[in-house]
Chains A and B, each alone.
Chain A
Amino acid sequence: MESRYAHLDVLENQSIYIFREAYRKFKRLAMLWSIGKDSSVMLWLLRKAFFGHVPIPCVHVDTSYKIPEMIAFRDRVAKELGINLVVGQNREVLDRGETFPNGRITRVECCSLLKKDALQTIIEEKDYQAVVVGIRRDEEGTRAKERYFSPRDKNFEWNFKDQPPELWDQFKTDFEPGTHIRIHPLLHWTEVNVWEYIHREGIPVVGLYFARNGMRYRSLGCAPCTKPIQSNAQNVPEIIDELLHTRVSERSTRAQDQEAEDAFERLRSSGYM
């Protein structure tokens, strides 16, 4: 296993380097923790970077529509590791019942209110300068264009047409006051790499990823908008094998991406993770 996974060392070392840069450069730093496999790997890498410690708060944006198993997993891990867990929620919209599952708005609008706005509110409330987010370039096209240190303006908008150059691991870390920074330590990983790393390191992940009755989740989101795929992969090596043979994209089970051709781009450029 050692040599088969040697390539993971390169990915891991790069992520550790980025975490340490972020921690050094931004005093008010938090990590977005979405409970999924990528977040689990990211939390692990954070502990690698800081020798077992979790020195920054972990923010979970709770839409209230998450699959209950995810919340149980979150609370168990947070307690075990003594994580400073910060939960953000758009109470106002939920109280009014203005959501997609209630049939009042579209999926994309729902994402925007329950995820993007809730995140924006918690960032403003806690005055975080920078947030670590576990996106990867191989997930979809707009994420492929991301930088490791990615600035957003006051309204959290992403100007993908004029991004800072990043070369030789020198990142832009000095910004106009009021700029909000997204930091992406998993940018260079692929979906397969994530599972290989989970396998090698023995990282706990939520059980929804493993097949039950011929179905499993490949990507986790809100229950009404995320569908499981047909699969018999019951353990990590079987998932890896399955992924090496599929030609279907990872986010194809996330309904909000499919709503309009450029739905995801619009969500992202206005501040979605």
Chain B
Amino acid sequence: MRTPESNLGAHALRIVIVGHVDHGKSTLVGRLLHDTGSLPEGKFEQIQAVCRGRGRQFEWAFLMDALQSERDQNITIDVSQIWFRSQTRSYVIIDAPGHKEFLKNMVTGAASASAALLLIAANEGVQEQSKRHAYLLSMLGVDQVIVLINKMDLVGYSETVFNQIEKEYREFLEKLGVRPVRFIPIAAREGLNLVEASTSTLSWYNGPTLLRALDKLPTPSSESDGPLRFAVQDVYRFDERRIVAGRIESGTIRVGDYIVFAPNNKTSSVASIERWNAPVKDFATAGESVGIILSEPIFVERGHVGSHQTAAPIETRRFRARVFWMGDKPFSIGKRYTVKLLTQEIECQLASVDRVIDATSLDTSTGLRLSVVKNEVAEVTIQGRSPLVMDNYDKVANSGRFVIVDERDVAGGGIIFGGTYVERERIQSTNLFWSEVGIDYRIRTERNGHRGAVVWLTGLSGSGKSTLARALEVNLFNRHMQVYVLDGDNVRHGLNMNLGFSPDDRVENIRRIAEVAKLMANAGIVVIASLISPYRQDRSRARELVLKADIEFIEVHVAAPLQICERRDPKNLYKRARSGEIRNFTGIDAPYEEPENPEITIHTDRESVTESVGRLLDFLLPRLQLELAEYEI
């Protein structure tokens, strides 16, 4: 029995070939396949015959085209893949279309590559696409780049030309933070420096051939040394066991490790690591899709990210990112999108376009922009509806990148930068992006991800204010918002314990509550004031006071007919008022002045609490959002 040759079937290194149109991509691939003996039987001879029949010189690009039409049946706009082998390993050439219109296909191909060949024709030098492609590669995380200066035959194999192009292009790549593995002078048509070294014409070049340089590229390293990021994909119940299934995106997880799951920050140790029909190991490293059984029955679901306590990810609703946009419809402020990051899917909005980058000149424009259009690259600020767990891209690549879904389509991709890590032991919520300045209202709202506001519920006793206030509070709280209810009960017994029900005291009562609400809203909290507050004048004084502090005042008339309120009578107050036990009771022997222009009226006798809360949220949430002007960087 013969044993298979070692390593030949080993993990294929995925390489993408990019470059300006006509810089020799097809010729390079054709020649490379031929010189490595990877062409199907008889293909070379067939093309030779075709060329001879037409009285032409042998054209390597024909070989690619023939292969292409055979393999692809004239579908040249999508990504295709071609396999070839060297002496030491196999390769997949990802043939991504270079045309600008097919950006999403180019991105699909290049995003899965671990190395790139950037082709520049020596006679034309660095061109627009040479730069644009390099820029996209750097964003897509393809950091192993070999630059091939092709068509050296057309410049007389000149070392000077080669050096000039290398110098110019190296400077450009440096600005991108791309450090090319090397520059190789080639003549793809003649097969110079592809597989065979050039001994005569390019004798001044002492470096390796393309194939040798490729063979020397390290196999993509798994990120097993990074901080642990375990992305929960699903939770299964099999054989009476609760298995948390997910992938280790970075780092290593071990049985016995204490794991924090963000964004809930519930913790448990790992009881076991589950695999089926595999050698038993008490650890799993980056790249592995495994199952984990936890010691504690904590709540964990898809989207949660497990990490060690000492090296936690960032958890925030607001983040800055560099994005590229592929969608036909622009990426616009005011529209809702879904960000998919690891297994998280969070509704987000574009908060601001901070600068748009010209991928070829690297110039940036910072004029006020409200959207990013197709094929553009920009630095933006994104605001999530709830917190996202993430990393800066340069720290952990897999949790530092995301895609943006517009309606149903993946329309953009991005990488995260500039986020601040906070030690979890000290602070649980980590929205500290710009923290080295004085603490003012803007900073507070930025951390919270929303503005402060005063929501003033007015209405008869028994109209449903307290129920509505509590339901709204729970809803906002569950959205991770800062919210607090001020009502007669928690104010009268402390702050206003020295006040009675005389006309003067009533005025003072409202004044104090408005004053406290203003301070709390200024601290970034959504304050829900739930008070009968029967007099228009009192309420408009409260409004003035709050507005003067630049805080939104939302008057909500909680309306229900008196008979219904009296029937509800939750505290038996109407009964006592009717019997004369209580005097000056609003609605009975004291007036209730309905608001003339409330921001919103809620009829609690006609709709359920859920419906009312829904209507309140529709009105409220857009007003709690941070606005563009508040975010200048």
Q: Is B4 an interface residue (CB 8 A)?
A: yes
Question: Which residue of A53, A142, A170 contacts B410 across the interface (Cβ within 8 Å)?
Answer: A170
Q: How far is the CB of A33 from chain B (nearest CB, A)?
A: 19
Kindly name the residue among A53, A163, A167 whose own CB sees the greatest number of chain B CB atoms within 10 A.
A167
Partner of A10, one of B11, B41, B81, B105: B11
Q: Which of A84-92, A122-130, A233-241 lies at the interface? A: A233-241
Check if B75 sits within 8 Å of A244, measured CB to CB: no
Q: A13-B289, A51-B274 are in contact. Are A145 and B78 (CB under 8 A)?
A: yes
User: Quick check: A24 and B234 within 8 Å, CB to CB?
Assistant: yes
Q: A66 an interface residue at 8 Å Cβ cutoff? A: no
A164 at the interface (CB under 8 A from B): yes
Stretch among B18-26, B352-360, B401-409, B463-471 lining the A interface: B401-409
Stretch in contact with the other chain, from B65-73, B151-159, B312-320, B529-537:
B65-73
Contact with B along A171-209 (1 / 0, CB 8 A): 010111000000000000010110010000100000000
Pairwise interchain contact B73-A141, C-beta atoms closer than 8 A: yes
In the complex, what's the smallest C-beta–C-beta distance from A241 to chain B, in angstroms? Answer: 5
Q: How far is the CB of A233 from chain B (nearest CB, A)?
A: 10
Q: Which of A15-23, A71-79, A104-112, A210-218 contacts B (4 or more CB under 8 A)?
A: A15-23
**Are A47 and B401 in contact, with the CB atoms below 8 A?**
no
The reply to whether A160 and B75 form a contact with Cβ atoms under 8 Å apart is yes
Q: Are A172 and B409 closer than 8 Å at their CB atoms? A: yes
A154 on interface, CB distance cutoff 8 Å: no
Chain B interface residues toward A at CB < 8 A: 1-12, 39-41, 68, 70-73, 75, 77-81, 83, 104-105, 107-108, 111-112, 140, 233-234, 236, 238-239, 243, 245, 247, 274-278, 287-289, 291, 302, 326, 340, 398, 401-403, 405, 408-410, 413
Name, among A49, A170, A192, the residue most crowded by chain B CB atoms within 10 Å (CB to CB).
A170
Asked if A224 is an interface residue, CB under 8 A from chain B, the answer is no
Tell me, rounded to whole Å, the shortest Cβ–Cβ distance linking B232 to chain A: 11
- A270 CA to B332 CA in the complex, in Å? 37
What B residues does A9 contact at CB under 8 A?
Answer: 287-288
Q: Are B408 and A174 in contact (CB under 8 A)?
A: yes
A144 at the interface (CB under 8 A from B): yes
Cα of A44 to Cα of B275 in the assembled complex, Å: 13
Interface string of A236-273 (1 = CB under 8 A from B): 01101100100111000000000001100100000000
Q: In the complex, what distance in Å separates the CA atom of A23 from the CA atom of B239?
A: 18
Residue A6 at the B interface, CB < 8 A?
A: yes
Pair A13/B80 contact, Cβ less than 8 Å: no
Q: Using CB atoms, name the residue of chain B closest to A268.
A: B73
How many residues does chain A have at the interface if contact means C-beta atoms less than 8 Å apart?
Answer: 59
Q: Mark A134-159, 1 if CB is under 8 A from B, else 0.
A: 00011011101101000000000000
Measured between beta carbons, the chain A residues less than 8 angstroms from B81 are 137-138, 144
Contact with B along A39-58 (1 / 0, CB 8 A): 00000100111111100000
For B10, the chain A residues whose CB sits under 8 A away are: 4, 6-7
Judge if A166 is at the interface, Cβ distance under 8 Å: yes
Contact of A193 among B9, B75, B276 (CB under 8 A): B9
List, in ascending order, chain A residues with CB within 8 A of B71's CB.
140-141, 144
Contacts of B276 in A (CB 8 A): 47-48, 50-52
* A residues apposed to B, CB below 8 Å: 4, 6-7, 9-10, 13-14, 16-17, 20-21, 23-24, 44, 47-53, 137-138, 140-142, 144-145, 147, 160-161, 163-168, 170, 172, 174-176, 190, 192-193, 196, 201, 235, 237-238, 240-241, 244, 247-249, 261-262, 265
Per the bound structure, the CA–CA distance linking A68 and B254 in Å amounts to 48
Query: Ordered nearest first, which 10 A-B pairs have the shortest CB separation?
Result: A141-B71, A7-B11, A167-B111, A165-B104, A16-B289, A265-B73, A170-B403, A141-B72, A145-B78, A192-B9
List 20 interface pairs A-B (beta carbons < 8 Å), by A numbering: A17-B247, A20-B289, A47-B276, A48-B278, A50-B236, A52-B277, A141-B72, A142-B75, A144-B79, A145-B75, A161-B75, A164-B409, A167-B403, A168-B111, A170-B340, A176-B408, A237-B3, A244-B4, A261-B70, A265-B75
Instruction: Tell me, in angstroms, the Cα distance from A89 to B535 when the chains sit together.
Output: 78
Given A141, A145, A190, which contacts B83 in the complex, CB threshold below 8 Å?
A190
Chain B nearest CB, measured from A13 CB (Å): 5
Q: Are B73 and A4 in contact (CB under 8 A)?
A: no
A141 touches B80 (CB 8 A): yes
Contact of B277 with A48 in the complex, beta carbons under 8 Å:
yes
Report yes or no: B1 in contact with A164, Cβ–Cβ below 8 A. Answer: no
Q: Are B289 and A21 in contact (CB under 8 A)?
A: no
Cβ-defined contact, B233 with A164, below 8 A: no
Q: Which of B8, B70, B291 is within 8 Å of A244, CB to CB?
A: B8
Contacts of B80 in A (CB 8 A): 141, 144-145
* A249 vs B42: C-alpha distance when bound (angstroms): 12
Would you call A235 and B277 a contact (CB within 8 A)? Answer: no
Interface pair A165/B1, CB less than 8 Å apart: no
Nearest-neighbour CB distance to chain A for B116, whole angstroms, equals 15
Q: Which of A17, A53, A190 has the most CB of B within 10 A?
A: A17
17 further A-B contacts with Cβ under 8 Å, apart from A51-B236, A52-B277, are A4-B6, A6-B11, A7-B10, A17-B289, A20-B233, A51-B243, A51-B291, A52-B276, A144-B72, A145-B80, A160-B78, A167-B111, A174-B408, A190-B9, A237-B2, A237-B4, A244-B8
